[in-house]
Amino acid sequence: MFSLIKLPYALDALEPVISAKTLEFHHGKHLQAYVDNLNKLLPGSGLEGLSLEEIIVKSSLPAATGNLKAIFNNAGQVLNHEMYFLQFAPAGVMPGPTGHLLAQIEKQWGSLDDFKADFEAKGVSLFGSGWVWLQADANGELSIGQYANADNPVAHGLKPILTFDVWEHAYYLDYQNRRAAQLKALWDIVDWKVVEERY
Ligand code: MN
């Protein structure tokens, strides 16, 4: 059985980037629903007792249908949201990456600002609902992935590092249709210490 993660900050701690109202619905209603759905779908599936990552890999076959497809969607959304919420902290806690991650970003993008611009552009150009991810391969090479719906790097053998949610439920209360404004603002609350540990 999976349970809803506890947020490591108060509901209003990420304002004005993410309002308490958005967080209350996004964490308390949307993520809770994905957790509940996954717990209902798992019994009898043969995937009980596995980790989220294992469930995602085993249910991610392109040919998956029915319950397996539903399990993939809900397990993917639980993992995506857990990594999303846990990578944030009140603004100014850690303004940028350091060390190995920063060096790799600068090597591949030239500068942190160029990386951020590329990440935002890929989030804006992702059609429909989904997630933009910074991901790493087995050699530590970074890339930015655009994933539809519940898909994520784990399903493609890559390591998930940082993610922005581009489903409208993530930003509509605060930004309405201005997805680009939300993506630009999110950098202020990224806890780069958490992100670096994932890399
Ligand atoms: Mn979401």
Q: How far is the CA of 92 from the centre of ligand 1 (A)?
A: 23
- Cβ neighbours around 54 below 10 Å, total: 13
Ligand 1 centroid from CA 98, angstroms = 28
Give 29-38 pLDDT, tens digit per residue: 999 999 999 9
| The pLDDT value given to residue 68 | 93
- Interval between CA 54 and ligand 1 midpoint (Å): 21
CA distances from 83 to 6, 152, 176, 179 (A): 12, 11, 23, 20
Q: pTM value?
A: 0.96
The CA distances from residue 146 to 87, 152, 157, in Å, are: 18, 8, 15
Q: List beta partners, residue 117.
A: none
Residue 115 CA from chain centroid, whole number: 17
Mean of per-residue pLDDT scores for the chain? 96
- 5 band by pLDDT with thresholds 50, 70 and 90: very high
Tell me what pLDDT residue 179 has: 94
* Residue 73 main-chain phi, psi, to 5 deg: -60, -45
User: How many angstroms is it from 129 CA to the middle of ligand 1?
Assistant: 9
Output the CA 137–ligand 1 centroid distance in Å.
25
pLDDT at 95: 78
Q: What are phi and psi of 52, to 5 degrees?
A: -55, -45
Residue 45 per-residue DSSP state: S
Distance from Cα 148 to the centre of ligand 1, integer Å = 12
pLDDT in tens, 51-75: 999 999 999 987 777 799 999 999 9
- For 143-176, how does the pLDDT look when each residue is reduced to its tens digit (9 = 90+)? 999 999 999 999 999 999 999 999 999 999 999 9
Distance (Å) from CA 149 to ligand 1 centroid: 10
What is the distance in A from the centroid of ligand 1 to the CA of 81? 6
CA of 158 to the centre of ligand 1 (A): 21
d(CA 2, CA 34): 10
Alpha helices in 13-65 (DSSP H): 20-25, 32-41, 52-58
Q: How far is the CA of 30 from the centre of ligand 1 (A)?
A: 7
Name the residues around ion ligand 1, CB cutoff 5 A. 165, 167, 170
Among 82-91, 93-102, 138-147, the least confident range: 93-102
Residues 7 and 33 sit within 8 Å (Cβ to Cβ): no
Distance between Cα 140 and ligand 1 center (Å):
27
Whole-angstrom Cα Rg for the chain: 16
Residue matched to tokens 């209003």: 12
Q: What is the model's pLDDT at position 197?
A: 96
